[in-house]
Structure 1
């Protein structure tokens, strides 16, 4: 039996003890295979010695104590296939803490929108004598109206390089409807995490653009709305899973840009665990539906 101290362990420590990734620990929690002794006010889990032993020895400790390393060696020698629902080696998941400028997924995961916003605000104050932008106030959710189609975008997509613009290129589909919402899930961080989680689970396409997209490339000033491309057939899915209610643009937290343009999704990039449109598409969107301040911030990244 593995020797443990009588104390509360963090998720990272449990992952090291079990020899698995953080993602596996979270999955065990969701499947009720692993129980947490306590859950902090910030949503972090803490595990007791007994929680870990109950997971390792679900039928009780009837056999002589065997260390975790001996258990691994025995399994290797007998060529027993490990149940990937119990032990999983995931080399694609980053288990170390990311920089404060990185968007963070729940509990010690690498993406923290709130920390990124604060870092961006700090940098902005250092580079300018102007008064820092105030945090966007959270206003009560107004009575929802029917989803409002605010604008139809139908423009030539100008592909750019770092140095200069090339000739206009007409995409297969460049028509996007803009729908504005507020979400019942909470702030921008929670909305972004759920967009990614639900899309991956259901194998759907999405890609962040404008402020949210640029913030994945570099720290920028705080902002109060996420812009994300989704396909027309997936609109109702996101409205349901994100607990969305229609809103005026001035009060919205989320703008869904509905488009079936395959070039948007095939050219997207994955940064810090989230999908963002290509630099060319991001530059196009900033120039066509963004504002001058965002365009200035994008110069160092997009040219």
Structure 2
């Protein structure tokens, strides 16, 4: 999807401006309508601040309507009725369209419990989450009071809107909505970077199937040509990064046992900062390996 230049939004008529930004906040074009009065914007940060201010200064009933405009997560009935393109893509990014029976039952249980207590849908920015972290967040937030959850919902709506606006509008400045996960492999046996190592990044799951996020091969510098995850938040959750080191050392004529002492090396780690840079390197010989949390 091509981005709309900020200069074009600044020059547009109010009706056109509102139409282009109408779904940055779910089914709530009144937010773009209020922000239009503060043009021209020097950057996307200033535009987003104006949209957030419209929400912050709205009366409680309008804030509640904004919260209720969002769908429940992983709700089959609402999916059948049709979600906005933005909501559908966001839920799919976390695998909520591919739930196991156990996962679906867990989401149905917590959705119902949350609605029964607060009277509005549970909202979280799913692009920053995995299925497991969403279910954990549900449980952590259920004991809260209604006022706390209303504010938490607005905070999550701001995160959702920031990501939508980042995708939609092109400007010289950027919103701080992206993280990065990277790796590199050092061959400590030969004292140099390790090229040609196949690796697989998997999102781990207890209730459903674990999901392969990406596959890559290290380049001449022992790194991958692109981040394992980049240009978006790195979802909160548990991961495994598996390195095929046995084939690498065998291809270099290193004397090895049969089968090799180290063949595929799995590193398991967790992500807690979606907008941060997490670096997970591997330092390896045919008989040992180490890692650390880099950045």
Higher percent of residues as strand: 2
Q: Same fold (TM over 0.5)?
A: no
TM-score by length of 2: 0.24
TM-score by length of 1: 0.24
